[in-house]
Structure 1
């Protein structure tokens, strides 16, 4: 669920803002030309900025570990270096340099994954040591990869081919290849894990068909047709926390929402000409060519959201609020749109709020913010004990596994000022 800025990272939108939801979609991170920013998603459909680094460095990748203080960043000035920070203290915990440009960074409570164009590096989140390197992967210039949020099914998915939609599944805990999924005939464009880590959604470069597979059995569970009029570039796939809904953004103005297991009950009518054809196909099963039956059997979007402004790459999240489920769409223009999901299938999502997070042309002029904690330089040495102590401190504020309540302010502790830190 990410989009990038300034380089060929996953979801790149050159000249824009990098935006990404955290693993449980309770907060949002943004990288700008002047640093990185953390936002809390409030229960009243609002957004609250809880931190701004104001480092003066153009941040092209940033990821926050759930609601903890641990943040991983990559800058345009040093695209081969990963910096791990404790944002509340304003300190750098450690940094690692790689042989090539870092294209994507993924985190869960057990592992940190760094994706280069032809390799993947797996770190232990507790001490940041490299546990394993997957070398000589097929060329992956967009840094396409996905890490399951669930440590019980800690799988990494990445392209197994640059020509066809083959997905390699790697077990990041036991450090072995799990399975290979032949997902599409054309190259992969998007990957996303469900919260439980047992379902993987895929989309190809053609952008018309989205599939959901069971892992590690490789069974194709669902198939959705995004549209029949044109091929598009899928930018993001995102499951809801319950796994019942799947959102897809693309280079068009429409964000589609699909319901898993939403096939009509026997005798229930489907609207539109495609529904009529599907009903006819079921009535004459076995009389039509197999590929025609496959197309007619594909599910369709149960809801759609229309973005007010086009031309910007977008990422989505489906969250549960005290009121009702919400569809959130963040764009590389630094805008977050909040939509209400309709009660009835087939209706459009109503736009409730539009939040301006950052402006691409204004972030560089923002005033710097000072912190009491001494910020280590990117090349400062770190002892093993000091690194372990800072990693432990950054991780300990992460809430325990289980459901997250957006109404609980302990998940988003207030940012202390410099005077508070000095006491």
Structure 2
């Protein structure tokens, strides 16, 4: 676990140190990618070891940093998008970087900022504020474009199965999603939330989707082929911004994290409240949603963020049906477990930051050490 030392001397400096801009797991959840204000680093989730670092003067690094870092499984190919403060790599260009050869393999330029990039082995989905593109990775040529409502959060999700290419995107009306299956040509669209959607997620083959709105109190789980609602999951009663949604490998569980640094986990195989039969119609709506089996609260002492940071809270992923990992903006990786279907416990905490890294908060300087 990382510790912090407070330097009580007054510091008058505009240097914000090396801050976190974006954290993302790869598709198999064995690597964590961290975009920082000075570049990026790659961490092995098994032991939290930094296996590649491109945000230090002693290595190939990129001043200004990246607000989007999109991996392709465990390959050396990454897609990088610069932060608004990056004068060398602007945020309207998607750069394709070979981390082994330390070289850019290509780039795609747009007239507006790139909000998100999702990589499959054969395709790249690039999300702009009002349009989502699908590109063939081999020739970097657009094969489809989908007009959307304003999409500042870069909302979209893709399947990663080789035999299923399913894209979940926003439509031109708030609360509506569009599901496109590029292998069989089927397109399904409809209303999922009354409020604007801020997050979409798919399971690995893309057969099941989940969504959260700007209200953040309800997670809706649906069949992507029919858009039939499968579950309505109660996250809480107070508004929150959901920062990640993840399915377990066999879809027995689902987790959601938020900007309140809380993590909820639901058992998707548990009976729904509607099984209460004829009495359920007398219950208020609050009692008719699936309640989480457990909740975990993380209270970070310090957050390594800045105005350009994309993530609003921790992100999570499952290792197996009962074990999951959380990457937090406090610079720690938390290994957690579902215990007895009634509690979430933290089994291990490790820092994905280096020794002696500095963070400056106003007139305070924090120094980390392992």
TM-score by length of 1: 0.70
CA positional deviation for 1:345? 2.0
CA distance in 2, matches of 1:181, 1:260: 23
Question: 2:240 is matched with which residue?
Answer: 232
Question: 1:327 is matched with which residue?
Answer: 324
Aligned residue pair count: 321
Q: Is the 8 A contact 1:27 1:40 kept in 2?
A: yes
CA distance in 2, matches of 1:23, 1:181: 27
Change in Cα spacing, 1:297 to 1:360, as seen in structure 2 (3 Å) is farther
CA positional deviation for 1:141? 1.5
Q: In proportion to residue count, which structure has more strand?
A: 2
CA distance in 2, matches of 1:102, 1:190: 16
Q: Is the 8 A contact 1:236 1:249 kept in 2?
A: yes
Q: Is the 8 A contact 1:334 1:360 kept in 2?
A: no
CA distance in 1, matches of 2:215, 2:206: 25
Question: 1:273 is matched with which residue?
Answer: none
Q: Is the 8 A contact 1:80 1:99 kept in 2?
A: yes
CA positional deviation for 1:87? 0.7
CA distance in 1, matches of 2:250, 2:351: 25
User: 3-state SS of the aligned residue for 2:291?
Assistant: coil
Query: Out of 219, 229, 245, which is 1:220 matched to?
Result: 229
Query: Out of 140, 143, 146, which is 2:154 matched to?
Result: 143
CA distance in 2, matches of 1:286, 1:325: 30
CA distance in 1, matches of 2:282, 2:293: 26
CA distance in 2, matches of 1:182, 1:288: 26
Query: Out of 206, 210, 224, which is 2:215 matched to?
Result: 206
**1:240-261: per-residue Cα shift (whole Å, max 9, x none)?**
2222111101121320011112
Higher relative contact order (CA 8 A, sep 6+): 1
CA positional deviation for 1:18? 0.9
Change in Cα spacing, 1:30 to 1:360, as seen in structure 2 (3 Å) is farther
CA positional deviation for 1:102? 0.5
Query: Out of 145, 149, 155, which is 1:133 matched to?
Result: 145
* Cα RMSD for the two superposed structures: 2.5
Query: Out of 111, 119, 128, which is 2:123 matched to?
Result: 111
In the TM superposition, 1:28-67 aligns within 5 A as 28-42=32-46, 46-54=47-55, 55-57=61-63, 58-67=65-74
Change in Cα spacing, 1:204 to 1:287, as seen in structure 2 (3 Å) is closer
Structure exhibiting the larger radius of gyration computed from Cα positions: 1
In the alignment, structure 1 residue 285 sits paired with structure 2 residue 297: no
Change in Cα spacing, 1:308 to 1:82, as seen in structure 2 (3 Å) is same
Per mean C-alpha deviation after superposition, the further-off stretch among 197-206 and 299-308 is 299-308
In the alignment, structure 1 residue 83 sits paired with structure 2 residue 87: no
